[in-house]
Homo-oligomer: A and B are copies of this chain.
Amino acid sequence: MSDVRPPGLERLSINQETVRQWSLPELVDGCARAGVPGIGLWRAPVAEYGAGRAARLVRNAGLAVTSLCRGGFFTAADPAARAAALEDNRVAVDEAAALGTGTLVLVSGGLPECSRDLAGAREQVAEALGELAPYAAGRGVRLAIEPLHPMYAADRCVVSTLAQALDLAERFPAERVGVVVDTYHLWWDDAVAGQIERAGRCGRIASLQLADWVTPLPEGVLLGRGQLGDGCVDLRWFRERTDAAGYEGPAEVEIFNPALWARDGDEVVAEVVERYVRHVLRAPAEE
């Protein structure tokens, strides 16, 4: 595909959930046709298709799997539940290795039931990373801690800022545990510029994920992400800051939005490409 790829798309990746209406073969075919060189995958559709078969499909199309979403959900009051989560995360590592991606995205999990102890829950995450990181390293997979917006702190992810993610990651070697810089989750944080610099300095940026912030938020606040350029996030700023921090990896567009899923997949991908060039790549003067 590389000979027909539009210039500037070298780092672009489209996460599977952005075009959820597509099967895995449709995604691979559609991205290849659009000149998008990377895709981010999710465990459930990969498992359904078969990890080995998915790996061959992607490889034969000349694409790269830029990340596997997701492991994590380490927090639980019950030690047996925490052990089961760890076991499931080892399977996720194996799947990432089979797909040929070096990045397993981790969403830490929320507060254990009946708990009000955020710091304690973060310690559970640290313990789980201590168990999982050597296993993942042995399979060529780096764990990527994703801080989620504070609105998910109770029920989904007790790691709410890039600083907290780095505090966790830095307990381990950089080649084993990195962090995800996701514009949707971090745009509001006035400390994020300094933390991106910190993350880059120690080689911890494992992934850059892109989505815009639009309001009103939907019930449950999971499926309200905006197409690039539709919201208030300075996406270019994030690309420039991560560039300056030395990050050269993929820029993965991950938008959970039923309005995109209701449209033609090719049209959505073409729009993502156009918005990526306009709002992420270009300098303001070129807008």
Chain A residues within CB distance 8 Å of chain B:
111, 115-119, 149-151, 153-155, 160-161, 164, 187-190, 213, 215-221, 231-234, 237
Contacts and interface: CB of A to CB of B under 8 A. Distances in A.
Given A216-B220, A218-B219, A232 B116 contact: yes
Total copies of this chain within the assembly: 2
Contact of A153 (B164, B188, B220, B234): B188
A23 to B, nearest CB: 29
Q: Which are the 10 A-B pairs with shortest beta-carbon distances?
A: A153-B188, A151-B151, A116-B234, A150-B188, A219-B219, A155-B215, A216-B220, A154-B232, A217-B221, A150-B150
Given A150-B151, A150-B189, A217-B219, 12 more contacts: A115-B232, A117-B234, A118-B188, A149-B150, A149-B151, A151-B151, A154-B188, A154-B213, A155-B215, A160-B188, A160-B189, A217-B220
A170 to B, nearest CB: 16
Contacts of A190: 118-119, 161, 164
Given A119-B190, A188-B160, A215 B154 contact: yes
A218 B217 CA distance: 9
